Amino acid sequence: MPWAEDHKDELTDPTGQPAVCPVALDLLQPYANDAANFLKALGHEGRLMILCHLSSGPKSVTELENLLSSRQAAVSQQLARLRLEGLVNARRDGQAIYYSILDPKVERMVALLTELFCPPEGGAQG
3-state secondary structure of 101: strand
Q: Domain 3-7+33-117 adopts which CATH fold? A: Arc Repressor Mutant, subunit A (1.10.10)
In sequence order, the 6+-apart residues with CB closer than 8 A to the CB of 84 are: none
User: In the predicted model, what is the mean pLDDT of the chain?
Assistant: 86
Residues 118 and 123: their CA atoms lie apart, in Å, by: 10
Residues of the chain with confidence (pLDDT) below 50? 1, 3
**How confident is the model at residue 30, as a pLDDT?**
87
Residues 27 and 40: their CA atoms lie apart, in Å, by: 20
